[in-house]
């Protein structure tokens, strides 16, 4: 009978005991030992992480990128709820867009009535929230450690989040920030949308934006919603959507943003592929300059078309007796004017189309092209291009909120000396505004006024209304401006006045 082969043994060698090991026979035992170590190690780790409610909850180990819980997004709160086994609460979080800020304002009554979670489960949810408060107090502000007693409507109105997560998975998700037209992109947006553009539907995404606007009480969309880039281009798909964009609701109109000094916007001009740069000069008023807007040939053609139509310039009669139509001569305006009213004239049609592309407003909102000629010592003292309802009480159009929104003014000649367009409020601090006179010649303007020198082919854009309120005619009184006397050379110019609604 054969004897068994030992796995290991001992042998004496030079006064030392040597352990002999048969690797082939011992290998299975080594693997088994390693598996047991891994198994029991995992079990011990799970116990430490609080997988049992006998000690601390799993909430303690849910670090969420080591963010303060107050910064959790809706998706973070939803993931936390699933990790602790509260599937019903996770669905409610997604439905009601509960973020970290709102999470710590919840009470048992709100969880049961607003989120439709039964009383016993609501109590468990609150205990989990309290555990976060107890273990992560250093990451919570005082008012959320001991939150005020608020109703569900107060919480969802005052503490509602503007971040909306549109998919459960964070894979390939992008963040898009949306602003109203009067908001600065340097500050907090009205909405932040998280979505995977590779799988999301664009039309569904737009509908989600509309719903989110209603939730954060920013707007109710009755007619349409348009998304525009900072440069004003309309966005119609995810491929053209930048990380920050403007949302325009119903009859809101695009304004070039003026929050970054010296910023330039590159704008394509039809029908060619030529582009121009729109450069910000001032935020009060919103003032921009455009170089090379017209070619030398186009300037000459406008002058040639307008010359036979020139007549002394007039102003609209003010006062209670004004019907809004009577025009009178006045020493405040001594130039000559021609109106190019035939939109079928080729040069007029071409420039109308170009202006529409430049300012992103339909030219059905525009008055006819006005052409101006200033000779030596002719001028238009500082004035407003809008019609102040207080000055024209007899004209019901202006009291209804309909008015001029923006002026696009382009120079047809360069002037060697004088002839500037002056903006007294430009570059003037708010503390100095009381020194500005709303009447009189350029010489009376404060020293800090912006003066735009006439350069053939260039244009200026200045807004006559405030972005927040332009749909009902809120006027911007910092748009005060004037045409200075030419000293050396003639000044030819033209302009379009564009209103905040179609011209009747």
On whether both 461 and 394 belong to a single domain, the answer is yes
**Residue ending a domain, choose from 161, 196, 227:** 161
Pairing verdict, β 421-423 and 481-483: antiparallel
Q: Which residues contact 212 (CB under 8 A, 6 or more apart)?
A: 162, 164, 191, 193
Residue 105 lies in a domain: yes
Domain boundary among the residues 161, 177, 193 is at 161
Q: Are residues 242 and 133 in the same domain?
A: no
Q: What is the pLDDT of residue 187?
A: 87
Same-domain pairing of 146 and 176: no
What CATH code is carried by the domain that includes residue 470? 2.60.120.620
155 and 181 both lie in a single domain: no
Domain endpoint, select from 131, 161, 191? 161
Burial of 219 (0-12, 13-18, 19+ CB in 10 A): middle
Query: Would 410 be classed as within a structural domain?
Result: yes
CA distance 312 to 336: 4
Q: What is the reported pLDDT for 502? A: 95
What distance in Å separates the CA atoms of residue 336 and residue 378, rounded to the nearest whole number? 9
Question: Residue 115 — very low, low, confident or very high, per pLDDT cuts 50/70/90?
Answer: confident
Contact of 456 with 299, CB cutoff 8 Å = yes
Residues 79 and 201 in one domain: no
Per the structure, the complete domain to which residue 227 belongs is given by: 164-249
Range 242-254 average pLDDT: 95
Do residues 308 and 378 both lie within one domain? yes
Q: Write down the pLDDT at residue 24.
A: 58
3-state SS, residue 91: helix
Statement to judge: residues 376 and 482 lie in one domain: yes
Considering the domain architecture, whether residues 190 and 331 belong to the same structural domain is answered as: no
Domain match, 271 and 379 both:
yes
Residue 291 and residue 232 in one domain? no
Residue 27: inside a domain, yes or no? no
Query: Could you tell me if 356 and 299 are in contact, meaning their C-beta atoms sit under 8 angstroms apart?
Result: no
Residue 67, pLDDT above cutoff 70: no
Most confident of 153-162, 262-271, 483-492: 483-492
- The answer to whether residues 200 and 345 belong to one domain is no
Per-residue pLDDT at 131 exceeds 60: yes
Q: Give the list of residues 6+ apart from residue 202 with CB closer than 8 angstroms, or none.
A: 236, 237, 238
Domain of 138: which CATH number?
1.10.150.50
Give me the number of domains the chain comprises: 3
Question: Are residues 352 and 421 both part of a single domain?
Answer: yes
- Answer whether residue 51 is part of any domain: no
> What is the reported pLDDT for 174?
86
Percentage of the chain exceeding pLDDT 90: 44
In a domain, 34, yes or no: no
Segment 172-201 shows an average pLDDT of: 88
Residue, of 68 and 440, whose pLDDT is higher: 440
Q: Among the ranges 37-41, 53-57, 299-303, which has the highest mean pLDDT value?
A: 299-303
Cα 215 to Cα 241: distance, rounded to the nearest angstrom? 23
Instruction: Place 183 in a pLDDT band, splitting at 50, 70 and 90.
Output: very high
Q: Which of 58-67, 182-191, 460-469 has the highest mean pLDDT?
A: 460-469
371, 352, 251, 264: CA torsion to nearest 10? -90
The answer to whether position 101 is within a domain reads: yes
Asked whether residue 237 carries a pLDDT value surpassing 90, the answer given is yes
Please give the average per-residue pLDDT across 126-130, as a whole number.
87
pTM summary value: 0.68
Q: What SS3 state is found at 426? A: coil
Query: Is the residue at 62 inside a domain?
Result: no
CATH of the domain at 195: 3.10.20
């Amino acid at each position: 009978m054969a004897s068994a082969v030992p796995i290991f043994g001992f042998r004496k060698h030079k006064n030392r005991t040597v352990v002999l090991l048969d690797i082939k026979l011992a290998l299975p035992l080594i693997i088994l030992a390693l598996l047991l170590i891994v198994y029991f190690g995992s079990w011990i780790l799970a116990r430490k992480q609080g997988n049992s409610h006998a000690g601390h909850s799993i909430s303690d180990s849910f670090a969420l990128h080591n963010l303060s819980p107050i910064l959790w997004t809706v998706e973070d709160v939803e993931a936390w709820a699933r990790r602790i086994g509260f599937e019903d609460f996770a669905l409610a979080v997604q439905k009601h867009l509960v973020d970290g800020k709102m999470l710590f304002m919840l009470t048992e009554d709100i969880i049961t009535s607003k989120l439709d979670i039964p009383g016993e489960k609501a109590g468990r949810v609150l205990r989990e929230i309290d555990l976060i408060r107890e273990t992560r107090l250093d990451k919570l502000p005082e008012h959320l450690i001991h939150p005020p007693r608020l109703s569900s409507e107060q919480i969802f109105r005052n503490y509602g989040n503007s971040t909306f997560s549109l998919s459960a998975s964070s894979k390939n998700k992008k963040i898009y920030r949306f602003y109203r037209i009067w908001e600065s992109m340097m500050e907090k947006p009205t909405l932040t949308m998280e979505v995977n553009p590779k799988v999301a539907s664009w039309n569904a995404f737009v509908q989600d934006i509309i719903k989110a606007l209603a939730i954060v009480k920013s707007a109710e969309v009755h007619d349409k919603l348009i998304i525009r880039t900072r440069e004003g281009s309309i966005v119609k798909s995810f491929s053209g959507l930048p990380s920050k964009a403007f949302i325009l609701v119903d009859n809101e109109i695009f304004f070039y943003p003026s929050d970054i000094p010296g910023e330039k916007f590159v704008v394509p001009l039809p029908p060619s592929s030529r582009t121009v740069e729109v450069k910000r000069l001032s935020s009060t008023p919103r003032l921009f300059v455009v170089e090379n807007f017209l070619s030398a040939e186009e300037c000459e053609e406008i002058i040639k078309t307008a010359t036979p139509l020139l007549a002394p310039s007039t102003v609209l009669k003010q006062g209670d007796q004004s019907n809004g139509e009577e025009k009178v001569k006045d020493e405040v305006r001594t130039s000559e004017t021609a109106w190019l009213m035939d939109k079928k004239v080729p040069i007029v049609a071409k420039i109308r189309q170009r202006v529409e592309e430049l300012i992103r407003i339909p030219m059905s909102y525009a008055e006819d092209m006005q052409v101006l000629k200033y000779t030596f010592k002719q001028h238009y003292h500082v004035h407003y291009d809008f019609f102040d309802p207080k000055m024209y009480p007899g004209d019901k159009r202006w009291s209804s909120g309909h008015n001029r929104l923006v002026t696009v003014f382009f120079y047809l000649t360069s002037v060697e000396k004088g002839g500037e367009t002056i903006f007294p409020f430009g570059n003037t601090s708010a503390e100095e505004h009381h020194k500005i006179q709303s009447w009189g010649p350029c010489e009376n303007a404060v020293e800090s006024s912006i003066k735009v020198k006439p350069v053939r082919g260039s244009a200026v854009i200045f807004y006559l209304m405030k972005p927040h309120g332009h749909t009902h005619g809120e006027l911007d009184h910092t748009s005060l401006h004037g045409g200075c006397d030419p000293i050396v050379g003639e000044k030819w110019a033209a302009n379009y006045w564009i209103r905040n609604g179609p011209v009747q």
